[in-house]
Structure 1
Amino acid sequence: MAKPANKKQKSFEESLWDSANKLRGSVESSEYKHIVLSLIFLKFVSDTFEHHRQKLIQNNQEKYVDLVQAYTKENVFYLPEKSRWSFVQQNAKQEDIALKIDTALSTIEKTNKALQGALPDNYFSRLGLDVSKLSALIDVINNIDTLANPHEDVVGRVYEYFLSKFAIAEGKGKGEFYTPKSIVNLIAELIEPYSGKIYDPCCGSGGMFVQSMKFIENHKGNKKDISVYGQEYTGATYKLAKMNLAIRGISANLGAAAKDTFANDQHETLKADFIMANPPFNQKDWRASDELTDDHRWDGYETPSTSNANYGWILHMVSKLSENGIAGFVLSNGALSGGATERAIRAKLVENNLVEAIIILPGSMFYTTDISVSIWIINKNKRAHTVAYEDVTKHYRDREEEILFMDLRQRGEPFEKKFIQFSEQDITDFANTLHTWQQVGAESDYSDIPEYCYSAKKAEIAAKDYSLVPSKYIHFFNRDENIDFDEKMTELKSDMTELLVKESEYKLDLLNVFKELGYEIKL
């Protein structure tokens, strides 16, 4: 009798997730994540505290074990006795364990200034998770040995895995706190944030910053060469970001509190060398019609429409870039064409040589929406990213006056059955395409590839009314290249309008017939 095929062994993170998720009960996933992630955070900071405490004792510095500065100078959070994991675990089966955890988190925040505004406030007591389930969850989290391997970021790995799983669990319309990892990795590889100031104006749970630091580590850079700035609108997500960064030991200025980036910019004078962002897609009513009309961020451009914040985000980021700054961000594909105001802004961005690349992504990459999206690369100094050859001026001008279009819709691999992600090799290949294109001249082996990439001159883009839809430039086989998407959509809109008008006329005629027969119908 044949043996059954061996099932793929679950990873540590998967097993933890399965165990923790079984204990959720009736608590909404969007609320439960704060319970689970807070406990992971508490376990981590307790482990690092206890580890440093033992080092002090072993080094005959026992008199400093309760001195806050002895910990903070080593980037370790000091924990009063009733805030430590050991205390929580000992009291896990007590009826007031939820209150004890809330008190522990509040005390940690008050004791460590760096965590001000970072930790959930009364989540455990307020949500009323069953004591037996909370106790079992504490046992699950206790299995995470956060210090088992000093060369491996175990807790960071678990935290990231749980963030992604919660985003998937929350589904459409929620989960905006998380940008899929492979998209963030691709942006990092495209813009290469080695050193300087990095900024995310809508930072969610801080994933852009985490991957930026990983990029630096992978390329043997120095994390001390990067300073991090961000802002987040939602209070609960702001706390997630603060915890996420604290777990990684990443020092960041996320502003004093969660605030609206447009109405209350907490980094008004910042000039960033790198910007990575995933703004809310097609955000409506982001400003009142009489607000921010003459804001300095739109200087030299049309004021972005109140009906959609896409170009508000673009111009906000352009205004934040340093002299040689570069930005990589995600927007819905609707921003690539159409709209009178948007067209005027888009034309000026192109004419000012700020748009470096437009990269259309596959569908089903995001856990929260099916909307089709693209990565924009905006570069304040396109010349700085080219390689000098004999005829320097000519080669610089070649790329300064061009935009690289890439279509990745047929790339990627399945993930979680219904999603798409990029492999590490995919990301390397896509980034190499951009970097090879940037290095113009005799030694560059860049060439346009049908159905994948095309370098368009500014005159071509102007001739297509400054549309940035990649399929207008990249050659596709077996497709009618004379089809203009915008034109077809306009025709379809006109046809639909005509059909709706006729439907109204027919309905009125029918009502009149019944009325003539003595039967009045009211709709």
Structure 2
Amino acid sequence: MNHQSLSAFIWSVADLLRGDYKQSEYGKVILPFTVLRRLDCVLESTKDAVLAEYSNKQSAGVNPEPFLLRKANQSFYNISPLDMKKLMGDQDHIKENLFAYIQGFSAAVRDIFEHFDFYTQVERLAKAGLLYQVTERFANVDLHPDQVSNSQMGLVFEELIRKFAEISNETAGEHFTPREVIKLMVNLLFIEDDDILAKPGVVRTIYDPAAGTGGMLSVAGEYLFEHNPAARLTMFGQELNPESYAICKADMLIKGQDVANIVFGNTFSDDGHLHKKFDYMLSNPPFGVEWKKVEKEVRKEHETQGFNGRFGPGLPRVSDGSLLFLLHLISKMRPAVDGGSRFGIVLNGSPLFTGGAGSGESEIRRYVLENDLLEAIIDLPTDMFYNTGISTYVWILSNRKPEQRKGLVQLIDASGYWQKMRKSLGSKRKELSDDHIAEITRLFGQFIEANEGKKPISRIFNNTDFGYRTITVERPLRDEHGQIVLAIKGKQKGQPSADSNLRDTENVPLHEDVETYFKREVLPHVPDAWIDHEKTKIGYEIPFNRHFYVFEPPRPLSEIDADLKQCTDRILTMIKGLSA
């Protein structure tokens, strides 16, 4: 049975739940039961040996855990004499026995079921008189590794996660990134490293600080396995939503990953991978989410640790924490001398330009560009995500840029690369085809400027092209007779006093001389003006759309007149017909 058929068969348990559960709640039962049955099958062949070892070590008064893990030949074990087949033998005590069986698992597995809130679902199923039927249905599904390999099981579980996300699409976007977007990001992340990743036995780490249900980590793992089955990608993540965390951790367990690398909690206030660095990182943090709840901890780290902490360059406004995720990922980059890192992050439009010179957002962009960390930004089509139709952008950052990219940034306008979905899911109406992904990957990989017709789709800029100086233009204060008022004390003594009501600012591109700009753009209009150099600030913004704007001249007036005449002639004819 292929993974689609198997996941459809497992999902058919929903027929039993219909009426007692809302459609959007099916996954709360189906996902944890699938995990339970898989673990049950995986431990089947070593069950007797583990129970015997447990009894021996208990008698000897020795901590049994390392011995049990060795006997189970897994990263988990179960010390209950029960299994799912035995549960079927006592219909009257199914609930109590199921609880006892789950309690027999090692701590990491119990943690998964606790965050699934599985005990609540078991109670609910028991009250509805469905617990025995549901457990029996799963007990009859053979998920033994001899029948369903780790990679197949991973695909089955992902298919179930996707079904769950699609039918509960009011919240899916918070924890679920469309698979084709992840595929594109993974392609962009790995394309420059194909030679390194093709080496036998290569081991690399990947991290997602807002892991959701683990989709980004899974697709990255699949990519590497397809390109080099001998390579190994060790996965790390952190997630704040309990159910998503449980799904992610279960997915990693099913795929043979070390589940201790998936941490529950808030990445900003409680970094679950403190001091760790990673080869690759991927993230789709929630768009425009405020960080008020963790403001105290974040500000404290910014003020007390500075650049030794994660948030040294600056803090964005409290209403949008997107750039905090960016800074967090930068802090997790492996130093360039140790091989460096590359990461991809999905952001909305505001991190490109929000905040003037000197603001937290501008200072973060300044840090990224002045340290030559930004490789590319790709503009995705609108309506790509489940819970929002807004424009989104993939940023690719690296501290080990290839030689030809140094000092440069590539912008790719992929907003026209989409096909309409057969069926909309929430706000998601468009998707990337394999051809679209291949074309965007080619533009990035070849690092080229390109047009489609007259419209540019890939452009390359110097880092400094996004920088500017905000200069303060002062004009003299005048008395009621129009005479210039001179300052009588301080540094400006004897100089014209500035009139704060006439004060203005100008943004001068970094690569342009300030005085030259001032003489050309300001003095011809206000000859008495001067620059207060002490107030000059450096800012950075990336006005993406401006760089891809193509001016289309209006139609000739004669054409418009002809159209209008045609229109009015038609109206007159209609009026004549009515009055006839």
Question: Which category of TM-score, normalised to the shorter sequence, fits these structures?
Answer: 0.7 to 0.9
Match of 1:38 among 32, 41, 62: 32
Residue ranges of structure 1 left out of the alignment (5+ in a row): 1-9, 387-395, 438-445, 481-523
User: Is the CA contact (8 Å cut-off) linking 2:280 and 2:343 kept in structure 1?
Assistant: yes
Which stretch of structure 1 is more off in the superposition, 143-152 or 204-213? 143-152
SS of 1:279's equivalent in the other structure is coil
d(CA) in 2 for partners of 1:253, 1:188: 23
User: Is the CA contact (8 Å cut-off) linking 2:234 and 2:257 kept in structure 1?
Assistant: no
Match of 2:255 among 238, 248, 253: 248
1:4-50, Cα deviation, whole Å (9 max, x unpaired): xxxxxx84434543552662434356654232111101111122222
d(CA) in 2 for partners of 1:131, 1:373: 44
Q: Tell me which amino acid in the other structure corresponds to 2:378.
A: I
TM-aligned CA deviation for residue 352 of structure 1: 1.7
TM-aligned CA deviation for residue 417 of structure 1: 0.5
1:311 corresponds in structure 2 to 323
2:216 corresponds in structure 1 to 208
SS of 1:176's equivalent in the other structure is helix
Q: Answer yes or no: is 1:347 the counterpart of 2:366.
A: yes
d(CA) in 1 for partners of 2:275, 2:42: 36
TM-aligned CA deviation for residue 203 of structure 1: 1.4
**Structure 1 residues 36 and 190: CA distance shift in structure 2, 3 A:** same
Q: Answer yes or no: is 1:428 the counterpart of 2:428.
A: no
2:492 corresponds in structure 1 to none
d(CA) in 1 for partners of 2:541, 2:15: 46
Which stretch of structure 1 is more off in the superposition, 276-285 or 130-139? 130-139
1:50-100, Cα deviation, whole Å (9 max, x unpaired): 25569x8xxxx9987999637656327434455422134445xx3553443
**Structure 1 residues 316 and 12: CA distance shift in structure 2, 3 A:** same
TM-aligned CA deviation for residue 173 of structure 1: 4.1
Q: Tell me which amino acid in the other structure corresponds to 2:341.
A: G
SS of 1:189's equivalent in the other structure is helix
1:328 corresponds in structure 2 to 344
TM-aligned CA deviation for residue 378 of structure 1: 1.0
TM-aligned CA deviation for residue 473 of structure 1: 2.1
**Structure 1 residues 102 and 18: CA distance shift in structure 2, 3 A:** same
TM-aligned CA deviation for residue 172 of structure 1: 2.9
TM-aligned CA deviation for residue 241 of structure 1: 1.6
1:442 corresponds in structure 2 to none
Q: Tell me which amino acid in the other structure corresponds to 1:426.
A: H
User: Is the CA contact (8 Å cut-off) linking 1:362 and 1:408 kept in structure 2?
Assistant: yes
Q: Answer yes or no: is 1:474 the counterpart of 2:479.
A: no
Q: Tell me which amino acid in the other structure corresponds to 2:450.
A: D
Q: Tell me which amino acid in the other structure corresponds to 2:77.
A: Y
1:393-412 alignment, distance < 5 Å: 396=403, 398-412=404-418
1:302 corresponds in structure 2 to 314
d(CA) in 1 for partners of 2:390, 2:140: 38
Q: Answer yes or no: is 1:198 the counterpart of 2:218.
A: no
1:490 corresponds in structure 2 to none
Of structures 1 and 2, the larger Rg is shown by 2
Residue ranges of structure 2 left out of the alignment (5+ in a row): 57-66, 198-202, 469-508, 510-538, 555-580
SS of 1:117's equivalent in the other structure is helix
Residue identity (%)? 23
2:389 corresponds in structure 1 to 370
TM-aligned CA deviation for residue 211 of structure 1: 1.6
TM-aligned CA deviation for residue 326 of structure 1: 0.9
2:423 corresponds in structure 1 to 417
SS of 1:359's equivalent in the other structure is strand
TM-aligned CA deviation for residue 317 of structure 1: 0.9
User: Is the CA contact (8 Å cut-off) linking 1:451 and 1:477 kept in structure 2?
Assistant: no
1:244-280, Cα deviation, whole Å (9 max, x unpaired): 110111124436x522111111222111111111112
2:74 corresponds in structure 1 to 75
1:218-240, Cα deviation, whole Å (9 max, x unpaired): 1115344x333222223332222
Q: Tell me which amino acid in the other structure corresponds to 2:257.
A: I
**Structure 1 residues 32 and 130: CA distance shift in structure 2, 3 A:** farther
1:142-193, Cα deviation, whole Å (9 max, x unpaired): 5644346556733322211121122222223455232222222222111128
Q: Answer yes or no: is 1:462 the counterpart of 2:467.
A: yes
User: Is the CA contact (8 Å cut-off) linking 2:278 and 2:334 kept in structure 1?
Assistant: yes
User: Is the CA contact (8 Å cut-off) linking 1:167 and 1:176 kept in structure 2?
Assistant: no
Match of 1:119 among 113, 126, 130: 113
SS of 1:231's equivalent in the other structure is strand
2:175 corresponds in structure 1 to 177
d(CA) in 2 for partners of 1:179, 1:315: 21
Q: Matched residue pairs, number?
A: 438
2:270 corresponds in structure 1 to 264
d(CA) in 1 for partners of 2:6, 2:399: 43
1:98-113 alignment, distance < 5 Å: 98-108=95-105, 112-113=106-107
1:15-26 alignment, distance < 5 Å: 16-20=10-14, 23-26=17-20
d(CA) in 2 for partners of 1:447, 1:435: 11
Q: Tell me which amino acid in the other structure corresponds to 1:213.
A: G
TM-aligned CA deviation for residue 424 of structure 1: 3.5
1:481-520 alignment, distance < 5 Å: none
User: Is the CA contact (8 Å cut-off) linking 1:167 and 1:174 kept in structure 2?
Assistant: yes
User: Is the CA contact (8 Å cut-off) linking 1:182 and 1:422 kept in structure 2?
Assistant: yes
2:86 corresponds in structure 1 to 87
Q: TM-score, normalised by structure 2?
A: 0.67
